Amino acid sequence: MESMILTKQYRCIHSSSCQCIKGHLSEDVIFLVFQQLNWNPKLIATLSCVCKWFDDLAKRVLWKAFCRARAPKMLLDLQSSGSHSVDGNWRALGKLLIYCSGCTKGGLFNNIHIPGHFVYRTRFSRTSGKSFLLPQCRTDILYVSDPCEHLDQGDEGDVGFFRGIFKSFSMSKVRKMLIERGAQLHPTEVCPYCKAKWWSMQQAEMIPQSASCRLGAYDDCIEYYVCLNGHVLGICTLLPLSDSEEVSDLE
């Protein structure tokens, strides 16, 4: 069984009301237990609720291990610039990998209400990410998921949600262009993954037509936001299957 030695010592941050203040398992033991549980995200989230110490351990160690197990190639790329962390923290990335946030009525996507939900597995693609960037920004690295389909949504038709993450967003051409174009942050809504504020790519006129082709969506029915930490959340109206196959051929 593969093991990991956690040599760095961290200050215990128990509160005076914590029930486990008299003693708890070591970080090494907890790491090995969750390794055997295949980094179950629901159990990691449950452990985080026990007390501040377990929440800190989950943020530093367990969510990082979960992300590496779930998307090893993507994580290797995101950290290849030398960073030992990722923008927005490991828990935010872990949630991004497994949770479709949906939307609330009157929220980010106006009058649409679709509850958020966990997804068993989602493919994130760097190649697909290029389709969501203007030509002058395509040296940036963006991973985007396949759309999570929510069919037969009344007047909205077949709705797809997609999510993603930029590598080193603070140094990206997309961020620079958003600032140069004077894009405004959303006044009320925040990222469901890290709670940072949103920029609208639609408002900044930075959504290329290739994005709708990649998603199999109507040209004028795609919108997406990027938060200050580089997380992406978007929505589109999907073409009927036969039409989207034709678009794929044209692409």
Bigger pLDDT: 6 or 76? 76
Residue 136 confidence (pLDDT) = 95
Print the SS3 string covering the chain: CCCCCCCCCCCCCCCCCCCCCCCCCCHHHHHHHHHHCCCCHHHHHHHHCCCHHHHHHHHHHHHHHHHHHHCHHHHHHHCCCCCCCCCCCHHHHHHHHHEECCECCCECCECCCECCEECCCCCEEHHHHHCCCCHHHCCCCEEEECCEEECCCHHHCCEEEEEEEECCHHHCHHHHHHHHCCCCEEEEEECCCCCCEEEECCCCCCCCHHHHHHHCEEEEEEEEEEECCCEEEEEEEECCHHHHHHHHHHC
pLDDT of residue 156: 72
Residue 89 pLDDT greater than 90, yes or no:
no
Averaged pLDDT of the chain: 84
What's the CA gap between 68 and 74, in Å, rounded?
8
Q: Does residue 239 register a pLDDT over 80?
A: yes
Tens of pLDDT, residues 177-190: 999 999 999 999 99
Tell me what pLDDT residue 8 has: 44
Q: Taking 70 as the threshold, does the pLDDT of residue 12 lie above it?
A: no
Residues 6+ apart with CB under 8 A from 86: 67, 75, 78, 79, 93, 165
- Tens digit of each residue's pLDDT (9 = 90 or more) over 103-142: 887 788 877 888 999 888 889 999 999 999 999 999 999 9
Please tell me the least confidently modeled range out of 88-92, 176-180, 188-192, 234-238.
88-92
Query: Which amino acid would we find at residue 45?
Result: A
Are residues 132 and 207 in contact, defined by beta-carbon separation less than 8 angstroms? yes
pLDDT value at residue 10: 44
The pLDDT value given to residue 3? 46
Beta bridge partners of 200: 225
Q: Which residue has the higher pLDDT, 172 or 108?
A: 172
